[in-house]
Amino acid sequence: MPASDLAIVILAAGQGTRMRSAKPKVLHELAGVPLIGHVLATARELDAAHTLAVVRHDRDAVAAAIAEHEPSAVIVDQDELPGTGRAVEVALDALPESFDGCVVVLSADVPLLDAATVQALLDAHRLAGNALTLLSAIFDEPTGFGRILRHEDGGFAGIVEQKDATDEQRAITEINAGVYVFDARALKSVIKGIGTENAQHEKYLTDAAAAIKATGAPIEAVPVADHWLVHGINDRVQLSQAALELNARIVRGWQLAGVTVHDPASTWIDLKARLAEDVELLPGARIKGSTVIERGAIIGPDTTLVDCEVGEDAVVKRADATLAMIGPRASVGPFAYLRPNTRVDEDGKIGTFVETKNAHIGAGSKVPHLSYVGDIEIGVGANIGAGTIVANYDGVNKHRTEVGSHVRTGSHNVFVAPVRIGDGAYTGAGTVVRKDVPAGALAINVAPQRNMSGWVEANRPGTAAAAAAAAAGEPEGQ
């Protein structure tokens, strides 16, 4: 059951101007999940009775993402009064008036913070009976962060924002991580009295700490050992730094779970991906979205899979695939492009420089070389000749092609859809298949070859070709 004495407030109202992007900052992604999605996942693990997200800039886009990742979250709109203090104030107003438990405040741009760390902060808060417990961290380069001020005995003295700090205070390396646990009654008693008399003319949440401290209520700042957990994202440099760190942790986790990763530095795995034991990832593998890879499959080098399913012992090398299903022991690549709704059954093959789309390749069937197959159903045990093109589009509509089982088609064929090639049929090289081919038939439509004797001598006199032909002695024409 959700903890009835716990409410979580997620601050997602900031403009994020330093990201320099048309996309809201909190919708930029890490490991396939938007920043706010990471924070919502942490909130979900804490199982609070109330989860509230405060929005303002790009309100509709951010609210839609919140609804997608955590439908139970309550959207709270911040008004024109700026500042984190005002954001928390409007969130408190959205809580039931009778709520008097713990209020956890998280930032939507701090994506690596895990639920275990927040839970430990909550436990410390409850155990000590604090009015406020907050996370801090030691940063070698603390510029831009609020600093934690301490008394000589190490006790919490206050928080000062970077722009309001003295030179001596700016030299402090312990920063405010922006993660708080408030006693709801203590917070409600001070939040409305916070002003905007500061360099930013904002209502700072950090001023709530000063106001609570002035009442004599206990406050504690708890340093977190792993500073990456409170790494905030303000620009694309910080985004890439966090992406590298998170990916390294994801890759290491899969290695410990039995996945072989040849080059962790060039391997990227999204959070939602699932890999079985004995999967092997070669350099340059990018496993994105909700891709699932079964035991013994080999992926890479230089392969991108997006929302794909890969069966046991399949091999996918130097390929790009999206929304594709690759069956057990199937082979894909090198240099193959699998577009959405491609399905390769067990022991099937999609080979070099082959593009597929909305295609089902049956068990044991092969499309080995230099082909485009789209909107097609291929039976079992068939072989599609090199250079085959499925002409599936008539300029207005797409049409489907059916190729039966154990069909053998020649090189350089064109299948003009809609058309069906029956089971066991053959087609000759260079054939343009415009009408159905019955089962067991051979389809050919190539004109007889004609050789014109003496053509080079007559039309290209004096060339190296003419000399070579003369030396070889031209055969009689046919």
Give the list of residues 6+ apart from residue 56 with CB closer than 8 angstroms, or none. 13, 14, 77, 78
3-state helix, strand, coil in the chain (%, to 5): 25, 30, 45
- State the distance between the two ends of the chain, measured CA to CA, in whole angstroms: 89
Please say whether the beta carbons of 299 and 282 come within 8 A: yes
CA 176 to chain centre: 30
Task: Check if 369 is active-site.
Answer: yes
Phi-psi region of 307 (alpha: psi -120 to 50; beta: other; left: phi over 0): left
CA 288 to chain centre: 5
Torsion of CA 327, 330, 332, 338, to 10 degrees: -20
Q: Which of 57, 369, 399, 406 is catalytic?
A: 369
User: Which one, of 9, 110, 109, lies nearest residue 51 by Cα?
Assistant: 9
Biggest CA pair distance of the chain: 112
Single-letter code of the amino acid located at 469: A
Task: Tell me the C-alpha distance between 257 and 378, whole Å.
Answer: 37
Task: Tell me the C-alpha distance between 386 and 420, whole Å.
Answer: 19
User: Which one, of 379, 339, 370, lies nearest residue 357 by Cα?
Assistant: 339
Q: Residue 51 pairs with which residues in a beta bridge? A: 8
User: Which one, of 400, 426, 430, lies nearest residue 413 by Cα?
Assistant: 430
Task: Tell me the C-alpha distance between 32 and 249, whole Å.
Answer: 15
Residue 68 carries which DSSP code?
H
Task: Tell me the C-alpha distance between 230 and 224, whole Å.
Answer: 8
DSSP result, 111-172: TT--HHHHHHHHHHHHHHT-SEEEEEEE-SS-TTSPEEEE-TTS-EEEEE-GGG--HHHHT-
Q: How many CB atoms lie within 10 A of CB 175?
A: 25
3-state secondary structure of 445: coil
* Residue found under tokens 């067991």: 440
Catalytic amino acids? 369
